[in-house]
Amino acid sequence: MVLAKWAQPLSPFEHYDDADLRMLVDEHPLAWVTARGGEGLEASLLPLIGVYDGTGRLVELIGHLARSNPLHAALARDPAATILFRGPEGYVSPEQAGRRDWAPTWNYAQARINAEITFDAALTEESLAVLTSAMERVRPDPWSSGELGERYARMLGAIIGFRARPIAVAAKFKLGQDERADTLRAILATMADPALKRWMMHFNRSRF
């Protein structure tokens, strides 16, 4: 697999490759970042940008957060973090499956990444640049940080960039891989969420 995985039997939903994990991280960059060590639980939703090697394997995540965020102090004390990504999700009714003898279910995509966090003030500006570039590139008139003028320098002082080095990954893509072909076709035909439908088709592409 992509990185080290926790020892457990693989279900049909746990078969994925580097490209599948990249699709999840790139399309749904807002993730829960939690401190795994110390007392209590500190967690924040933070946008993260994946960095990949020549084979497409995830090698790090780049992000930033406010220096005043309690998560910053927690991870500075102990850099062990758990990062949780969630992709498209939705309830699937027996009505959509066209079968009354079929139980309702919930389809979803998720990834849990154990990582080591390294804070780096020199990375702060780059972390903002890569995030802005990733989010603005699809817009007809992309925004740039230079448009903030003097405010930009003041904002930089209040935040700090970081790198998250993945140590282990456990992902699950529950997207209809276990359904009968006729049931899957019925669900796809009645699926109102285009994003969830696209992901279901991607993970079942070998069946059509």
Query: Over 80: is that where the pLDDT of 59 sits?
Result: yes
Domains of the chain: 12-200 (2.30.110.10)
Query: Over 70: is that where the pLDDT of 123 sits?
Result: yes
Average pLDDT taken over every residue of the chain? 93
What is the rounded average pLDDT of the residues 148-169? Answer: 92
What is the rounded average pLDDT of the residues 159-173? Answer: 97
Question: 8-52: per-residue pLDDT in tens?
Answer: 557 899 999 999 999 999 999 999 999 987 666 899 999 999 999
- Rounded to the nearest 5°, which phi and psi values hold at 132? -60, -45
Question: 74-102: per-residue pLDDT in tens?
Answer: 999 999 999 999 999 999 999 999 999 99
Query: Over 70: is that where the pLDDT of 3 sits?
Result: no
Q: What would the two tokens of residue 162 be?
A: 């970081």
Residue 1's pLDDT is 41
pTM of the predicted structure, to 2 decimals = 0.91
Q: In terms of C-beta density within 10 A (0-12 exposed, 13-18 middle, 19 or more buried), how is residue 76 classed? A: middle
61-71 in b/e form (b: 16+ CB < 10 A) is bbbbbeeebeb
